[in-house]
Structure 1
């Protein structure tokens, strides 16, 4: 594979309609449908904040794709595109559509899963020929502005500029260093300023400007005189994305009319305060109300949530989830929650490293109507504020229609790479069940566990200070993310994945029946396929390892690779291959190791070690241990070329839109779904009318 091919947008990717129509139409009232509609609009209004955090050119590429679609009179299918474009051949039209679809699915020109840049497979000159044929001055000017950056692969991964990588969390600041970012972040933390909704600019005079996303431009911190340790001033500029955040506030104000209870009213009002003023403290308060809003018919969570894509690991990416409860699936998860404490006692660490009391969360299965973000997860465990989780609890969310999303008309027969022929049908039969079990344990008992031993105030501790086993702890105002920094996300995802597989293998008889798997042979098959899925995920995770930068581009895959390596070194499986190019590489599991405690002990050793390091804020030893576990030695790195050659494109998910039809009390909400094609993806975004 050439170096350029590594960057091409996916070809023949599965495109799936994320259907939510049935559950939306089953909502008990039109008010609930309107509530969902306005929350969805508010979620999508934050789209520019996503684009702006990815790359400088992403907002303009977004506009370019939609302007081209409009110029062509809104083609609804790929065939309509093919019939309307005469300036380039059919193959190049498809290449353009594949790029546009992948861009919209990732909300930017870097993959949300892997952080690697992608470029169109259509050559630059051919794309320019197509652009010129449209004879639209606005489109031509916009394309000229972004043409070079669309095709530039010199900064192929997201990360700190000093490492030759790219990020727009620090716009127009090519010379900003990791050390400077960390210095600014420490000053913010010491003044109890939360960074999730910020970006940082390094000015020519060496000072820094912290951009804060908000509708209003009033500076909440004008009374502060903040200076970095080396004497550089920190300024604030509120109103980043002000136009879009004003629309967010407007739509949330409409949603407020249709809330179902006082808790939802408090939740939406705090959202409005946060997005209007830029106050992250208001957002944290909103999450307390969100946790208290128990099993609503329409669930939502909106804001700067996950911090994976900020190189420093502290700034959030905009997300907006709106979904309906699947009551049948939720019953299974409720049963799991009710027995969670029993499973926690089986985890391989002393109670001093676990929360004093497990607060049962709201665990629901949702059918996604809207997920505005750079990618749609299969499960969520939020809020991410550690003190809210500890004092008020959290929610686990399994996204049912994401878990089961498959194309109606697959483009080609699916062959699962790197597994034995005898495992092909079993893998396909049980993978959805395995995924659901894995996600359930991962979110509830993975992210839902771990006590952060903390000095909550000067001289006040949430643990026994005389216990000699606890030699380090979190200081006042320190959080898990602030201490473990850029590796916090990957480290925590690995810990949660370990918890899930550990429990699947350690106690299938008690755990799996709760999730509907009662047959003894099915339970053994789940144990086998869940292990195979994890090992295979670790192997194909090599796609996301950059051997030149020595950097992982995807936190989940770094964790899964480390787990794979642990199981390999324990003798749970071996790689079989007879060809020099490893084209027949196959994973062969010694199934007896799943039943004689070999796998459980290997997973338990890894899990307990990283868990204790997290619990005690032991960053130095914790990261040394984890980075060694996830280091790609030559014994594994040699497989990367065949992994890249055999890689399969990820599914692209098309989401529905809702529209208010009619006026006043007689108005109704219509849900519109789209063709499962690249054109259908573009049309879905076009009809959202996202403008900035």
Structure 2
């Protein structure tokens, strides 16, 4: 199988394989197929959430791509195609990671010429006047770099809502948003709803109102399509609990009632007998600067039964890990409940999980559900496998890893430690600890996502070096963990900065988390006898001199991060993030970019989905689901735009 499809801009497109799909029963294959259709049906929701002009721009550029009759080899047209590919990849005109608006490499005059040649009917418009209005609108959005420049802005000291282009809000300020949702909270509420998760907040005639995503509300047409495919999938569910879950999800989509979403989430947690599972909904809140609004996403998956034995072993020992955590006893869960962890094969990715996707997931996000019922985690094994395959043989290690001894350590143990750290992060890290009774779940506001990701990462880092890992047979020896410690510090201090445009700050929560941990560790190591940045031949290298003492630093960080989370210490969260996680030294940043350019490695990767093709008998019954791995990136994106 060919794993690499193409490379453009800073992106490499990969393919993943559905390992073991052929061995599934016909009923299971059909179940996956219908769940996959439901996952793909929400694509336009994510595009719209990520910017109010995204769908219009995508349609216009796809029309130009299909109908342009000029010289397709000229520089402007090639640049326009790359722009379109980036729009597909990021679900809009903003970079999927740093959230900056794309800068077009084609001229305004070329765009106008290509646009003007399109009939208004082809654009779905009613007249030439409407076409001219759209033209003026798009010229401002695409070419004015100061107009809506950032999808998610987290810069301290500004109105994060008015300066963010995400389409969760309209004509409201940050203060108005905080007041609106603050007024919905009841004192002493023990099971708070995830207020604002599935809605858009707008102001009409001076009054702030919520538009709820539901079948007869905002995004109603797309949600009805999702419901249609979920209803068909329900007929092929593996058990009664799966049928119940789908029915509850449909009811939630019909009503938009967040209490029903919580009930669905609890029922979803309890289903672990079936081999097939899915996520479908407004889930993660990274796309909202205040961490309230859920971006639409979907994934269909099935268990890797053999690899799942590893994560089940971890989850079976969840109470031991909680009891022995280096955090204050006040913040430990006396009883860890309902920790379920599986290694899965992704079968279909959609919405905010496509083409760029997570390799591990832990849900639900509601703290009270985690406390009372637990959480469900997955490590997506077939995606990790592709990452490992395509990275093998690159010159990254020789360029950035300090010496041959460390490179050998990473070659031997890097893959297993990467997977195990993801397991610990997702299976136990996010589900560990507890909020104090009077701490609001959103007390950390815009810094909450970064602190939460740092908490889960530190939990995994701390325990990778524990003898418990050897006792459980999860690591082969006491040296293995060092590979993860080194690569984590290398990434946080140096190499992840290649993902940021030169001179810009770090914005994305996961990147901020890694920078926070690594830079804070340097600061805590005042004598530089544990970890340091050293210069050799004019280039910076990471040197870890004492791995055991580095673990002690991680332990102290975890204790403080958990305290901040449990107590809702907003000021300390703000101080840590702003000091360690946002800014990049310009000269160091420039150096990393130059070193990467020499290697020719794309810093971002995403995936094509397999094309699922049902086969029918003479009576119209599905007799098999065949998988096509040959579809190109452009064909898949154009096909999805036509079908969904």
Q: What's 2:489 paired with?
A: 534
Q: What's 1:405 paired with?
A: 386
Q: 2:71 aligns with which of 49, 62, 87?
A: 87
- Residue 404 of structure 1 deviates from its aligned partner by 1.7
Sort the Cα spacing of 1:193 and 1:187 in 2 relative to 1 into closer, same or farther, 3 A. farther
Q: Conserved in 2, the CA contact under 8 Å of 1:16 and 1:407?
A: no
Q: What's 1:577 paired with?
A: 535
Q: 1:681 aligns with which of 598, 610, 633?
A: 633
Q: What's 1:103 paired with?
A: 87
| Counterpart check, 1:18 vs 2:10 | no
Stretch of structure 1 that moved more, 162-171 or 359-368: 162-171
Aligned to 1:483, the other structure's residue is in SS state coil
Q: What's 1:640 paired with?
A: 589
Sort the Cα spacing of 1:295 and 1:371 in 2 relative to 1 into closer, same or farther, 3 A. farther
Q: What's 1:53 paired with?
A: 49
Q: Conserved in 1, the CA contact under 8 Å of 2:533 and 2:540?
A: yes
Cα deviations by residue, 1:634-674 (Å, 9 ceiling, x for unpaired): 8x454233334455430121112323333767313434434
- Residue 512 of structure 1 deviates from its aligned partner by 5.2
Q: What's 1:166 paired with?
A: 164
Q: Conserved in 1, the CA contact under 8 Å of 2:239 and 2:274?
A: no
Q: What's 1:121 paired with?
A: 105
Q: What's 2:621 paired with?
A: 666
- Structure 2, unmatched stretches of 5+, are 1-6, 125-130, 187-191, 597-601
Separation in 2 of the partners of 1:65 and 1:407? 34
Q: Conserved in 1, the CA contact under 8 Å of 2:289 and 2:446?
A: yes
Aligned to 2:532, the other structure's residue is in SS state strand
Cα deviations by residue, 1:516-574 (Å, 9 ceiling, x for unpaired): 532x3xx524413433333323434446779999x641101111111111222313322
| Counterpart check, 1:180 vs 2:176 | yes
Q: How does 1:283-362 map to 2 (within 5 A)?
A: 283-362=261-340
Separation in 1 of the partners of 2:318 and 2:349? 28
Q: What's 1:599 paired with?
A: 550
- Residue 278 of structure 1 deviates from its aligned partner by 1.2
Cα deviations by residue, 1:338-377 (Å, 9 ceiling, x for unpaired): 2232232331123321112112422111111112133310
Q: 1:453 aligns with which of 423, 436, 440?
A: 436
Q: Conserved in 1, the CA contact under 8 Å of 2:362 and 2:376?
A: yes
Q: What's 1:236 paired with?
A: none
Matched residues, number: 604
Q: Conserved in 2, the CA contact under 8 Å of 1:66 and 1:682?
A: no
Separation in 2 of the partners of 1:311 and 1:11? 26
Q: What's 2:203 paired with?
A: 202
- Residue 271 of structure 1 deviates from its aligned partner by 0.7
| Counterpart check, 1:563 vs 2:517 | yes
Q: What's 1:235 paired with?
A: none
Stretch of structure 1 that moved more, 10-19 or 311-320: 10-19
Separation in 1 of the partners of 2:464 and 2:279? 29
Aligned to 2:449, the other structure's residue is in SS state helix
Q: Conserved in 2, the CA contact under 8 Å of 1:309 and 1:317?
A: yes
Separation in 1 of the partners of 2:576 and 2:8? 35
Aligned to 1:349, the other structure's residue is in SS state coil
Q: Conserved in 2, the CA contact under 8 Å of 1:43 and 1:320?
A: yes
Cα deviations by residue, 1:150-199 (Å, 9 ceiling, x for unpaired): 344324322368467332334542xx321111111112334967310011
Separation in 1 of the partners of 2:451 and 2:410? 28
- Residue 243 of structure 1 deviates from its aligned partner by 0.9
Sort the Cα spacing of 1:409 and 1:453 in 2 relative to 1 into closer, same or farther, 3 A. closer
Aligned to 2:246, the other structure's residue is in SS state helix
Sort the Cα spacing of 1:266 and 1:444 in 2 relative to 1 into closer, same or farther, 3 A. same
Stretch of structure 1 that moved more, 422-431 or 383-392: 422-431
**TM-score using structure 1 length:** 0.79
Separation in 2 of the partners of 1:672 and 1:199? 37
Stretch of structure 1 that moved more, 39-48 or 610-619: 610-619
Q: What's 2:469 paired with?
A: 511
Separation in 2 of the partners of 1:687 and 1:526? 44
- Structure 1, unmatched stretches of 5+, are 1-8, 73-84, 217-238, 455-472
Q: Conserved in 1, the CA contact under 8 Å of 2:168 and 2:288?
A: no
Q: How does 1:263-282 map to 2 (within 5 A)?
A: 263-282=241-260
Query: What RMSD in Å do the two structures reach over aligned CA positions?
Result: 3.2
Q: What's 2:32 paired with?
A: 36
Sort the Cα spacing of 1:119 and 1:30 in 2 relative to 1 into closer, same or farther, 3 A. farther
Stretch of structure 1 that moved more, 666-675 or 434-443: 666-675
| Counterpart check, 1:442 vs 2:425 | yes
| Counterpart check, 1:246 vs 2:245 | no
Separation in 2 of the partners of 1:89 and 1:611? 56
**TM-score using structure 2 length:** 0.85
Q: Conserved in 2, the CA contact under 8 Å of 1:494 and 1:560?
A: yes
Separation in 1 of the partners of 2:637 and 2:615? 19
Q: Conserved in 1, the CA contact under 8 Å of 2:168 and 2:199?
A: no
Q: What's 2:214 paired with?
A: 214
Q: Conserved in 2, the CA contact under 8 Å of 1:418 and 1:536?
A: no
Cα deviations by residue, 1:240-267 (Å, 9 ceiling, x for unpaired): 1111111111111111111121211110
Separation in 2 of the partners of 1:407 and 1:67? 37
| Counterpart check, 1:150 vs 2:142 | yes
Q: Conserved in 1, the CA contact under 8 Å of 2:532 and 2:542?
A: yes
Separation in 1 of the partners of 2:606 and 2:16? 9
- Residue 143 of structure 1 deviates from its aligned partner by 6.8
